[in-house]
Structure 1
Amino acid sequence: MVIPVPFISNCHLVPNDQTFKTDPPSTKSKVGIVKRVISTVETVAATAMVLRRVSRDYLPVEFRREFRREFEKYIATNVLNKFSNQFTMVFNEFDGYSDNEIYNAAQLYLSTRISSEVRRVNVTKNPNKQQFNVAMEINEEYTDVYNGVHFTWSLLSKQLQSDDRYGRTDIRSLELTFHQKHKDFVLNSYLPYIINTSETHKQNKRTVKLFTLEGSYWKSVKLDHPATFETVAMDAGVKEMLVKDLDRFVERREHYRKVGKAWKRGYLLNGPPGTGKSSLIAAITNYLKFDIYDLDLNDIYSNSELRRVLLGTANRSILVVEDIDCSVELHDRGAQTYNNNGKLTLSGFLNSIDGISSSCGDERIIIFTTNRNEVLDPALVRPGRMDVHIHMSYCTPCALRVLVSIYLSVTEHDLLEDNDELICHVDVTPAEVTEQHLVDEDPDIALGGLVEFLDAKRKKNEEAKARLEEKEELAAKESEKKQQKKLKKAVAKKSEKKQQDQWNRQLDK
């Protein structure tokens, strides 16, 4: 039997290892390969010219532009990248529901290093600031040099659908491109350098941001509230206690770790409207240089949504829930049922601020404000959730002196003693006193007007008190009359019953 053997060109058999070894191609074969490559390139070029001419004559301009972008994207992705030694890292704007720390740090870092080679930049300005803020514009590139290595940064934007439920129109990302041999250098040196530089720059700028919810995302603006502890009208002893407590909190990182407790602290500010609760929050913010997250619980529709929102807050921040007694029904935990139809509940709120998810962050402060402390559930305001309770009272002589010093720039005045005496007998808020100081900058006129205002309010209170006492006296008299009538009826009924009993006994005889 004869077995046909296929013809094998340029090969010979190696008996020792029973493998084939291919001879190197000859010069003639190399020339043939080159000719075939050139012929293929010429064919492709001719075809491209024909397609270009046809597209120019028959296809709309918008279609040609879109086709060109897609073709260039295909070539860059499937052809050029295979032969490139470049490596690209992508930093998305968000990490799940939280901000991406390296994205924010890189944005701040690049804003301080943008040079003239960038053709388009994004310029903004705060009305209360003198300097301009310069940042990279979308689709622009910037080349940074660190320790002799060149890095190319680019800002990209991905458009979202118009019906996006979070109200966002785009999601942004930064791309960092460099030689692939520097990958470890970037992770171990360049990116930590960017984070440290941005933190230093942030501390030097000392800007505070106010975050509010738009959908399920936090949107920020710069907070320029001028309140400080020196300008807040409250008792000096309470103010000193609060400052010491804040200082102790920010210095006890290792202590919280040692005892196994989340590094957070809660403050409850309670008092009548106009007593300065919001101003005190602004003073705390400016003192610590923490960002504020202003949370309106009426915008939260479920426990799961609240958890997502709180996970989106950053470290070194203050979560503020104002008028918590009016936000949602957080008064009676026992009145809630298990079938809450996905709504926000008190138990869900407590778990969000003090449960497992609350430990996903460091150095955080929670502040609640209320006008009615007595209606809040005890579980909401217990130590561990609301560690410090601060009562914001009506204006005192000490608070009055602070306001006079701020608004009228005086510390001594003949009318101050009259104001001090009146303010001890009148319930007046710092907001009302401030309004009187804004009437005129002349201390004589302003303090004289305040004396008249306090005296008028004292007389009004005395009249109201007199009317209340008169009303209570009338009510007491009316109540006494009713009691006397009831007593007379009872006596008459008893006498009637006694007489009836006597008649009955006589009849029996």
Structure 2
Amino acid sequence: MEASSSLWGGLNSGIVLSLLAVVWTMLWQALQGLQLHHFFGRHSRRLTRRLAAILDPDLTVTVAEYDGGRMRRSDAYKEAKAYLERATREARGGGSGVRHLRAEPDRDPDRVLLSMDDDEEITDEFRGAVVTWRACTAPQREDSAPKYYWRGGAPRAERRSYKLFFAERHRDLVLGEYLTHVRRQGRAVMVKNRQRKLFTNISSDGSWDSDGVWSHVVFEHPKTFATLAMDPVKKKEVMDDLDAFHNGKDYYARVGKAWKRGYLLYGPPGTGKSTMIAAMANHLDYDVYDIELTSVRTNTDLRKLFIETTSKSIIVIEDIDCSLDLTGKRKKKKKVKDEGKDGGDKKEEDKLEKEDHKAGGSKVTLSGVLNFIDGLWSACGGERIIVFTTNHVEKLDPALIRRGRMDKHIEMSYCCVESFKFLAKVYLDVDDHPRFGAVAALLREVDMTPADVAENMTPKGPGEDADSCLAALVQALEKAKEDALMAKKKKAKGKEEEARAADDDEEEEEE
């Protein structure tokens, strides 16, 4: 009987539990139909935000290092960095609480610029509002790096930012006036501490740096137009053109053109193309970006390089005819395509295509360079000069150097009489000398670069004066004249031998 009671009690408990499960399932389905879980979720999140505001009442503004998906370093970040460098320097004596500082080169070579190292904080005061800045770094997630810009290479290791913390009661003051004050003061500090720099692109082999795709040194080249050996009329023409560009912001905006200008410097080696670029940079007070095209893997990487250049800069590609074969492959492909339509020609064309895109080589194309010069992306930013140099202008594709891309063509030729007199004044401090006539006569007959003329006029020891240097120059010119005559005779003799050999071949054929 007791066993029956226990069995009956167990059955009743099971039935009750089953009924409760059924009721709970029906109730839960009804609640899901009413979407009450969304209602409770909203209230729980609101309660969480209120609790967080009680525990941490500060508001936060993040100034990230990069905007536009890492396309370009943020101006706001650079200005905040400059502002905090000054704040760190001014607060150092009063105790800013920053224990770990980062040192960077200053405009004064005997000093350094100090800024907060990662994860350090500094306080600032503005119209009674006390705010805190923190330098933050976060690891870069592999899936967050845009594959379009980083394919073929590892993503950046870190993302940097500055976080600004302030009380909610100062919200309007900080967002409305303080941040504007920071940017204005930061720009003023950047102008004051600005050093002209010479940049070179980092090889895009996957070793991207957290500071961008450029590395730099301080630009300290002494060459100016005052010491540049060039025809005075041509020199003034170039200087006037540069000044017109530098002051032409309103003009370019009015005519609807990007504020940029292209210069093509061409001529034999040693005629001063590189020194001309240095003189241009010193004249305008611009930075110089020297691009090595052979280390740029794709057109996308070339675009990335351009985006990360700053305004007031000269972008240089030296020896453009030697950097990449931008015309030969295109012409060869066109020839292969036009010669026939059989399978052999198609295979040859496919082979050329594969050679162009083989792994490890540069895939920069003529189209990519043209877009770099005057495509849509070239209008990102302003006040940029693009300079190409070449020893063989005839080898360049006409599309590359047409007006609108290379707006001004400057021939850097051999030393003329006026350039010689200029060099004599600079190197020997003489305006006239009895040997000037002999030098002038020889320069009209012999091609010698300004670099060679200057080298011959450079005193080699304490006993050399203007007369001995000019005598050495005359001797060098006479030897160059003799060498030119010998080369001319040798060339003529070679042609005679070729003609004689051709005649002999014809006689043999007739026999």
Partners of 2:107 and 2:435 lie apart in 1 by 39
Match of 2:228 in 1: 232
Match of 2:265 in 1: 269
Q: Indicate whether 1:367 and 2:387 are aligned.
A: yes
Q: Indicate whether 1:279 and 2:267 are aligned.
A: no
Q: Indicate whether 1:348 and 2:320 are aligned.
A: no
Partners of 2:123 and 2:425 lie apart in 1 by 53
| C-alpha contact (below 8 Å) 2:107/2:195 kept by paired residues | no
Match of 1:61 in 2: none
What letter is aligned with 2:303? R
Choose the corresponding residue for 2:81, options 89, 102, 107.
107
Partners of 1:166 and 1:312 lie apart in 2 by 19
What letter is aligned with 2:84? L
Partners of 2:59 and 2:357 lie apart in 1 by 49
Please state how far the C-alpha of 1:467 moved relative to its aligned partner: 4.6
Which is greater in Rg? 1
Output the TM-score relative to the length of structure 2.
Answer: 0.71
Matches within 5 A, 1:43-442: 83-95=55-67, 96-114=70-88, 115-116=91-92, 117=95, 118-125=98-105, 129-159=109-139, 165=153, 170-214=158-202, 215=204, 217-332=213-328, 333-335=330-332, 339=353, 341=357, 343-440=363-460
CA offsets 1:177-211 (integer angstroms, 9 cap, x no match)? 22234444444433333333333333334521222
Please state how far the C-alpha of 1:464 moved relative to its aligned partner: 3.6
| C-alpha contact (below 8 Å) 2:415/2:449 kept by paired residues | yes
SS of corresponding position for 1:379: helix
Distance 1:224 1:478, change over 3 A: closer
Please state how far the C-alpha of 1:412 moved relative to its aligned partner: 4.5
Partners of 1:451 and 1:195 lie apart in 2 by 61
SS of corresponding position for 2:265: strand
Distance 1:475 1:282, change over 3 A: closer
SS of corresponding position for 2:402: coil
| C-alpha contact (below 8 Å) 1:206/1:289 kept by paired residues | no
Please state how far the C-alpha of 1:420 moved relative to its aligned partner: 3.7
Please state how far the C-alpha of 1:272 moved relative to its aligned partner: 1.4
Partners of 2:311 and 2:82 lie apart in 1 by 17
SS of corresponding position for 2:401: coil
SS of corresponding position for 1:89: strand
Aligned length: 414
Please state how far the C-alpha of 1:127 moved relative to its aligned partner: 10
Partners of 1:434 and 1:236 lie apart in 2 by 17
SS of corresponding position for 1:155: strand
SS of corresponding position for 2:133: strand
Distance 1:148 1:245, change over 3 A: farther
Name the Cα RMSD after superposition. Answer: 3.3
CA offsets 1:344-388 (integer angstroms, 9 cap, x no match)? 211122123211122222111111111110000000000110000
Please state how far the C-alpha of 1:268 moved relative to its aligned partner: 0.6
Please state how far the C-alpha of 1:437 moved relative to its aligned partner: 4.2
Distance 1:469 1:87, change over 3 A: same
CA offsets 1:232-266 (integer angstroms, 9 cap, x no match)? 22221121111111111122222222222211110
Please state how far the C-alpha of 1:391 moved relative to its aligned partner: 0.8
Partners of 2:509 and 2:182 lie apart in 1 by 91
| C-alpha contact (below 8 Å) 1:416/1:447 kept by paired residues | no
Partners of 1:379 and 1:280 lie apart in 2 by 24
Distance 1:474 1:396, change over 3 A: closer
CA offsets 1:63-92 (integer angstroms, 9 cap, x no match)? xxxxxxxxxxxxxx9976653331222222
Match of 2:28 in 1: none
Distance 1:403 1:464, change over 3 A: closer
SS of corresponding position for 1:395: coil
Partners of 1:187 and 1:416 lie apart in 2 by 71
| C-alpha contact (below 8 Å) 1:97/1:309 kept by paired residues | no
Match of 2:16 in 1: none
Distance 1:128 1:153, change over 3 A: closer
Distance 1:240 1:180, change over 3 A: farther
Distance 1:467 1:328, change over 3 A: closer
Partners of 1:143 and 1:446 lie apart in 2 by 64
Distance 1:138 1:471, change over 3 A: closer
Please state how far the C-alpha of 1:409 moved relative to its aligned partner: 4.2
What letter is aligned with 1:315? S
| C-alpha contact (below 8 Å) 1:422/1:455 kept by paired residues | no
Please state how far the C-alpha of 1:395 moved relative to its aligned partner: 2.0
Distance 1:291 1:488, change over 3 A: closer
